Amino acid sequence: MSVLARSVGNAFRNKVRTAAVVAVLAVAIGLALAMLVANQAVGAKVQELNASVGTVLTVNPAGGQGFEGGGEPLTSEQAATAAGVPNVTAVVGTKALRLRNAAEAAAQAAAGQTGGPGGGQGGPGGQSTTTLTTSLTAAVDAGSLGNRNQAGDGTTGSTGATQPARTLPITATGIGAEVDSTGKALELMEGTGLGDYAADSAKALLGTTLAEKNNLKVGSTFTINSKTFTVAGLFDAGTTFGNNALYVTLPAAQTLAELPGELSTMIVTVNSMENVDSTKTALQSALGTDKADVTQGQRNLETAVSSLDSVKNISLVAFIAALGTAGLIILLIMVMLVRERRREIGVLKAIGAPNRTIGLQFVLEALVLVALGSVVGAAIASFASGSIASALVSSSTGTTTATAGQRGPGLAGAAGGFPGGVPGQGGPFGGASQLLTSVTASASPGVIAAGIAAVFGVAIIGALVPALLTARIRPIEVLRGE
Amino acid sequence: MIEVKNLVRAFKSGDRTIKPVNDVSFELEQGTLASIVGKSGSGKSTLLSLLGALDKPTSGDVVVNGVSLAGMPDGKLTEYRRRDIGFVFQQFNLIPNLSALDNVMLPMEFAGIRKSARSQRARELLEQVQLDPDKHVRRINRLSGGEQQRVAIARALANEPKLILADEPTGNLDEQTGEHIIELLSSLSRDHNTTILVVTHDRSLANKTDRRFRLQQGKLTEEPARNRPAVPAAV
């Protein structure tokens, strides 16, 4: 009979005790594995959030945002100033235009609907936007919200029974690089980009639903004011509002608006997350607080990420604590067994067993118990890890989620409503609370295997101490009681 | 040859010092079958533990084939017990959750003998001590006292030791099996040149040994064996 076979036999010597030890170990190991799974899941979510938000700062004119507010427009000179701020890696200027279908605009003008305050169809405020006509028809019906938002008095519910049905405008954005107005790369479904974004070209990228509504494909043409543009590509912004939009090069938009050098926003990319705060301060200082508002798109998510980081740290500490507990259980059990079997150890020594053989026998016996505990623990972890991760996240991020929720819907509304800013802006902001609660912890074989390897490592350490104790037992113990 | 020189084992008990083995000296030629008799608590088991290197003497020395055990490191003492000594304990001291066969194979496993060889030898030894073959694979705790004693004797013979130390080897055996074990031990000492030292209360067994010793209050004296006159143990 080999040492291993003897160890296995010894592990099952007292079946009731073995079952009790395995049960206790399984709880500790299961908790350790569940914490590891939660840690991995939260870590992955943090990475996902960081990747989704990036390191982008948005600069708007002081007192204005999108088609709202007032103040002075941004300029190309300010873009150059922003580019000179330390840690800034890129500055992309945008110029937002509001397009009206030419035929509908003429009909509404004839019906006398253009005299509303704040610029009528131009919407209230609109400090840096320009309303132009186009051959395109908006892909989104006005509906109740559109009619209400476009009402002449700018208040709710005043649609007027005699007024003809309204249509939504189309947002055209001039961009200095192939990114959307939040700084994320455009996801082109067909065609190519605009090529040289610094050139006043006649190419445009259309949202998929806008192209479909107007039966346009790559290579088709349409007009803005009297200028003909060719569809170079189709993009998918992921939202209905976002896809009712088009992009042209920044110089083309500035030419259409007859406002050369004027910018609606600047998208500033910082070299790392750690430098975002300091760069924001430096950028605000360089541009002047009375000239520009610098906003950090990920502020809410950063708080959320920080909260998730806390969960990650808590789960790591809990994993280590549970691992330590498993090791301690093994240590105590094996010390108890060594004390209980002093005489038997004496017998083995009396008949010539070397210390290392006896020690190995006890280590292997401990590992047999740990193996059984790991099997049950892995089963516990696979069932419980999801609930534990959710409980950890919800308890730790409850306050943060509430905070994000207060601001999130407002921003989402700004993007989704008619007078709002630019397409896609609401995505990563308004979805913060959903992102937080969507942490999915699944016990992958790799994570479980890594956790069990760690458990075995700790168990070996825990079993070595009692195994070394066996070396101190003298063979004369065999005569104890004789 | 075993030489025991002025062997003392002392224990502290409060203010008193107890010496179950007190200045014991004797020699045994290789192949001798010897016995030690004495009352309970006279120090017989303590003397056996010193000879078998289970315990270390307070003073004195045991020299086996010219090699002194005094000052020998623990690893060497373990090797000495594995290679040169076979123990038969009064309470058998078998491993309860192993079979009779596994118990006999244990010393051979520690000596590095291949599994097939040790299994074959273990079966032969169990047959020599007259344990039924169907009980070879039975767990120790399912064997009677006498059967366990025979397994203990078989285990002591496993590595063909030069010295067998047996504490009441026939104590739990019926008369017939006891006789057989005595014959077995005699033939081992005679045919295999094995030195055997037996602690016993059994007069008939003691009378069949080549030399008889009596241990009384830690002092060892040799009794006349068969036709030999009584002489002091220390020569």
| Cβ contact A390:A398 at 8 Å | no
Residue A270 has pLDDT above 80, yes or no: yes
Residue B48 dihedral angles phi and psi, to the nearest 5°: -60, -40
- Which one of A343, A349, A479 has the shortest CB-CB distance to B49? A479
What tokens appear for A363 in the block?
A: 């280590």
Give the containing element (helix H, strand E) for A228: strand A227-235
| Cβ contact A228:A264 at 8 Å | no
| Contact residues of B toward A, CB < 8 A | 45, 49, 52-55, 74-75, 78-79, 81-83, 87, 89-91, 93-95, 97-98, 102, 105-107, 109-111, 155, 159, 167
Q: Give ∠ CA B23-B26-B32 in degrees, rounded to 5.
A: 150
| Cβ contact A303:A403 at 8 Å | yes
Higher pLDDT among residues A309 and A430, named by residue: A309
Which domains are present in chain B?
2-232 (3.40.50.300)
**Residue that is written with structure tokens 């993007």 in the block:** A415
Counting one residue from chain A and one from chain B, the pairs whose CB atoms sit within 8 A come to 76
Question: Could A9 and B49 be called an inter-chain contact, meaning their C-beta atoms sit closer than 8 Å?
Answer: no
Among the listed residues A250, A290, A283, the one whose alpha carbon sits nearest the alpha carbon of residue A96: A250
HSE at residue B226, side-chain half, CA atoms within 13 A, is: 7
Q: Please tell me the distance in Å from A346's CA to the nearest CA on chain B.
A: 9
| Cβ contact A422:A265 at 8 Å | yes
Question: Could B78 and A476 be called an inter-chain contact, meaning their C-beta atoms sit closer than 8 Å?
Answer: no
Question: Could A479 and B45 be called an inter-chain contact, meaning their C-beta atoms sit closer than 8 Å?
Answer: yes
Q: Please tell me the distance in Å from A22's CA to the nearest CA on chain B.
A: 20
Percent of chain A with pLDDT over 70: 76
| Cβ contact A82:A280 at 8 Å | no
Greatest mean pLDDT among A239-243, A413-417, B98-102 lies in: B98-102
Q: Please tell me the distance in Å from A30's CA to the nearest CA on chain B.
A: 31
Higher pLDDT among residues A101 and A424, named by residue: A101
Residue A425 carries which DSSP code? T
ipTM of the complex: 0.90
Domains of chain A: which residue ranges?
3-52+304-479, 57-297
Phi-psi region at A221: left, alpha or beta (left = phi > 0; alpha = psi -120 to 50): beta
3-state secondary structure of B6: strand
Query: What would the pLDDT profile of A463-477 be if each residue is shown by its tens digit?
Result: 888 888 888 888 887
The series of mean pLDDT values per 10 residues for chain B, 235 residues long, is 91 87 91 89 87 91 89 90 90 89 94 92 91 92 88 92 89 78 82 88 84 90 63 47
Give the containing element (helix H, strand E) for B87: strand B85-88
| Contact residues of A toward B, CB < 8 A | 1-2, 6, 9-10, 13, 343-344, 346-355, 357, 474-476, 478-479, 481-482
| Mean pLDDT, residues A81-92 taken together | 91
Q: Please tell me the distance in Å from B222's CA to the nearest CA on chain A.
A: 25
Residue B100: CB atoms within 10 Å: 29
Indicate the pairing of strand A74-75 with strand A227-235.
Answer: unpaired
pLDDT score of A107? 79
Q: What is the separation of C-alpha A415 from the centre of its chain, rounded to a whole number of angstroms?
A: 19
Burial class (CB within 10 angstroms; exposed 0-12, middle 13-18, buried 19+) of A446: exposed
Q: What is the separation of C-alpha B156 from the centre of its chain, rounded to a whole number of angstroms?
A: 8
- Which one of B78, B89, B167 has the shortest CB-CB distance to A352? B78
Q: Please tell me the distance in Å from B183's CA to the nearest CA on chain A.
A: 24
**Residue that is written with structure tokens 């008889």 in the block:** B212
Q: Please tell me the distance in Å from A344's CA to the nearest CA on chain B.
A: 7
DSSP string, B131-199: --GGGTTSBGGGS-HHHHHHHHHHHHHTT--SEEEEESTTTTS-HHHHHHHHHHHHHHHHHS--EEEEE
Angle at which helix A355-416 crosses helix A299-340, to 10 degrees, equals 160
Measured CA to CA, the distance from residue A151 to residue A113 in angstroms comes to 9
Measured CA to CA, the distance from residue A473 to residue B78 in angstroms comes to 13
| Mean pLDDT, residues A290-298 taken together | 80
Q: Give ∠ CA B188-B197-B137 in degrees, rounded to 5.
A: 60
pLDDT score of A67? 65
Measured CA to CA, the distance from residue A149 to residue A129 in angstroms comes to 17
pLDDT score of A398? 53
Residue A47 has pLDDT above 70, yes or no: yes
Residue B164 β-bridge partners: B86, B196
Residue A65 β-bridge partners: A68
Higher pLDDT among residues A371 and A447, named by residue: A371
| Mean pLDDT, residues A278-291 taken together | 90
- Closest residue in B to A475 (Cα–Cα): B54
Measured CA to CA, the distance from residue B234 to residue A213 in angstroms comes to 120
pLDDT score of B58? 92
| Residue B110 identity (one-letter amino acid) | F
Higher pLDDT among residues A141 and A340, named by residue: A340
Radius of gyration of chain B (CA): 18
What tokens appear for A153 in the block?
A: 């008095």
- Which one of B81, B89, B155 has the shortest CB-CB distance to A482? B89
Indicate the pairing of strand B85-88 with strand B67-68.
Answer: unpaired
CB proximity list for A479: less than 8 A, separation 6 or greater: A346, B45, B49, B54, B89
- Which one of A10, A348, A479 has the shortest CB-CB distance to B54? A479
3-state secondary structure of A298: coil
- Closest residue in B to A476 (Cα–Cα): B54
3-state secondary structure of A300: helix
Measured CA to CA, the distance from residue B183 to residue A156 in angstroms comes to 117
Chain A interface mutation, best of B106, B141, B162, highest count of A Cβ atoms under 10 Å = B106
| Cβ contact A263:A129 at 8 Å | no
pLDDT score of A417? 32
Give chain B positions within 8 Å (CB) of A350. Answer: 52, 54, 81, 87, 93
Give chain A positions within 8 Å (CB) of B82. Answer: 351-353
| Residue B96 identity (one-letter amino acid) | P
Angle at which helix A299-340 crosses helix A445-472, to 10 degrees, equals 30
Measured CA to CA, the distance from residue A451 to residue B197 in angstroms comes to 56
pLDDT score of B99? 93
Q: How many residues does chain A have?
A: 482
Chain B interface mutation, best of A10, A15, A18, A351, highest count of B Cβ atoms under 10 Å = A351
pLDDT score of A163? 54
Residue A372 has pLDDT above 90, yes or no: yes
Query: What would the pLDDT profile of A296-315 be if each residue is shown by its tens digit?
Result: 765 556 666 777 778 888 88
Distances (CA, A) of A451 to A330, A377, A381, B218: 17, 11, 11, 60
Among the listed residues A463, A466, A412, the one whose alpha carbon sits nearest the alpha carbon of residue A435: A412
pLDDT score of A441? 67
Measured CA to CA, the distance from residue A257 to residue A249 in angstroms comes to 13
CA terminus-to-terminus distance, chain A: 28
pLDDT band for position A412 (50/70/90)? very low
Q: How many residues does chain B have?
A: 235
| Mean pLDDT, residues A234-261 taken together | 89
Give chain A positions within 8 Å (CB) of B106. Answer: 1, 348, 351, 353
Percent of chain A with pLDDT over 90: 28
pLDDT band for position A45 (50/70/90)? confident
Among the listed residues A184, A181, A194, A205, the one whose alpha carbon sits nearest the alpha carbon of residue A265: A181
Query: What would the pLDDT profile of A104-160 be if each residue is shown by its tens digit?
Result: 877 777 776 544 333 333 333 333 445 788 999 888 877 777 666 665 544 444 444
Question: Could B78 and A353 be called an inter-chain contact, meaning their C-beta atoms sit closer than 8 Å?
Answer: yes
